[in-house]
Amino acid sequence: MGTKMSKAGKAKKGAAASGKSGGGSGGNDNIDIKLDDKYTSKAGGGKLGIDDFELLKVLGKGSFGKVMLVKKKGGDDTLFAMKTLRKAALIKRNQLLHTATERNILQNIQHPFLVNLIYAFQSDDKLYMVLDYMGGGELFFWLKKHRRFSEARAQLMGAEITLALGALHAGNIIYRDLKPENILVDLEGHIRLTDFGLSKDGITGPGAEGGTKTFCGTPEYLAPEILDNKGHGKSVDWWSFGTLLYEMLCGLPPFYDTNIQKMYHKILCAPLRFPSYLSDNAKEILRGLLQRKVEERLGSGPGGTDEIKAANFFKTLDFDRVMAKEYTPEFKPPAGRNDTDATNFDLEFTTEKAIDSVVTTHMSETAKQKSNFTDFTYQNEGAMGS
Ligand code: ADE
């Protein structure tokens, strides 16, 4: 979530707010929060609430709420990231659909390289999502700090991201918002994708067919077919992956310009150039991913994700071993003095007192809000009894 260094997060939120999330400010918006019954309530009685958690640190803040480092009371010492979202703010900025999408995706897919949902619950005023804690913070932070990564480091991170996108695509979900701010690092140096608010589910086919024309995303990473307002499908994620891999290897996205109009123009038609230090295998995969013709882009064929995995750039990796986290990442973020240090997060937030702040809304709003958030409560089966 938006730390001070999240340059693009704000732009994204603004674009998303104008998306098609069903208008209205708390009335009957007919918001479809698709829920799988098996996740909505826990066996053995009782619903979780904020009082079941010890709030340790503030990790980040955004327009809808904050992310805190928490621990479950009476459980083991496992740390979680708790994302709180103010319902009134979501309704006001038309973010209900995005929140529902995020929650649906999180509760339906568990994957080693996706930030998993462990618990979810709500009060009258807020939604709470309890997620895997990623103690290394944002990949964006490390990329800016180290300027660019070695090919070995980018290779393993790239392989983990490929598996994460492959899992989403296998569930017919297009991520659409791949950028360094949405990639979190754990204290071992492995990554997980987060922030599924802009993802679209229920879209089939690897190419441009069946796409959606809603414009959301950060310009740097947007595929040309999105800028051109043509329908777009899963291949947009492989383009974004190409820009991200390029940025990891070279320090800046391939078509970067401080002027947004110029950047749009470059994404649509500037030639792809590489610094001289890049290996042939790196150039080859980047050319494949950053192919403007969707049908020729790596990953858009019938093989889908397998086309990416088969690239020479990844030939020294065994993807089963990547999945099992058997490769040790070259870089391990500093752990701090103890687990709850949150040393890789912005002091601006971590020095703040971790509290569940009171929301001041008109009471008349409360009942309306509640009706839009029914069935949010969730407990991951794996976490039962902890
Ligand atoms: N910020 C947003 N989500 C997070 C998470 N799961 N872990 C750490 N920081 C986060």
CATH number of 139-323: 1.10.510.10
359 lines ligand 1 (CB under 6 A): no
Q: Is the shortest distance between the CB of 161 and ligand 1 below 6 Å?
A: no
120 band by pLDDT with thresholds 50, 70 and 90: confident
Global pTM value: 0.80
Span from the CA of 286 to the centroid of ligand 1 (angstroms): 29
pLDDT tens for each residue of 100-114: 666 666 666 789 999
pLDDT at 34: 38
CATH number 3.40.50.740 given to 50-135+337-379: no
Regarding the beta carbon of 191 and ligand 1, being less than 6 Å apart is answered: no
Q: Tens digits of per-residue pLDDT, 228-252? A: 878 678 999 999 999 999 999 999 9
196-219: per-residue pLDDT in tens? Answer: 655 555 443 333 333 444 445 457
Task: State in Å: Cα 184 to ligand 1 middle.
Answer: 7
According to the model, what pLDDT value does residue 134 have?
A: 95
Q: Which range (2-6, 258-262, 280-284) has the least confidence?
A: 2-6
| Lowest mean pLDDT, pick from 120-129, 226-235, 361-370 | 361-370
Q: Evaluate whether 127 touches 102 at the Cβ level (below 8 Å).
A: no
Catalytic residue among 29, 125, 132, 177: 177
Predicted confidence at residue 158, as pLDDT, reads 98
For residue 358, the model assigns a pLDDT of 79
Q: 7 labelled as ligand-binding? A: no
Q: What φ, ψ does residue 70 adopt, rounded to 5°?
A: -135, 165
- Residue 377 is predicted with a pLDDT of 65
Q: Is the CB of 244 under 6 A from ligand 1?
A: no
- Residues linked to residue 193 through DSSP beta bridges, in sequence order: 114, 183
Distance from Cα 142 to the centre of ligand 1, integer Å: 15
Active site residue 177: yes
Rounded mean pLDDT, 156-168: 97
* Of 115, 138, 139, best ligand 1 pocket probe by most atoms within 8 Å of the beta carbon: 115
Query: Is residue 74's pLDDT more than 90?
Result: no
Q: Is 70 in the pocket of ligand 1 (CB under 6 A)?
A: no
- Domain positions in the chain are 50-135+337-379, 139-323
Section 269-296 average pLDDT: 97
- Residue 180 CA to ligand 1 center (angstroms) comes to 13
Sheet holding 191-193, edge to edge: 137-138, 183-185, 191-193
The number of beta carbons lying within 10 Å of the beta carbon of residue 318 is 12
Alpha helix (H) residue ranges in the chain: 9-17, 37-40, 87-92, 96-108, 139-146, 151-170, 224-227, 235-250, 260-269, 280-289, 305-309, 319-323, 347-350, 363-372
- The answer to whether domain 50-135+337-379 and domain 139-323 are alike in fold is no
345 close to 68: Cβ distance less than 8 angstroms: no
CA distance 337 to 3: 22
Ligand 1, atom 2: closest residue by C-alpha: 1
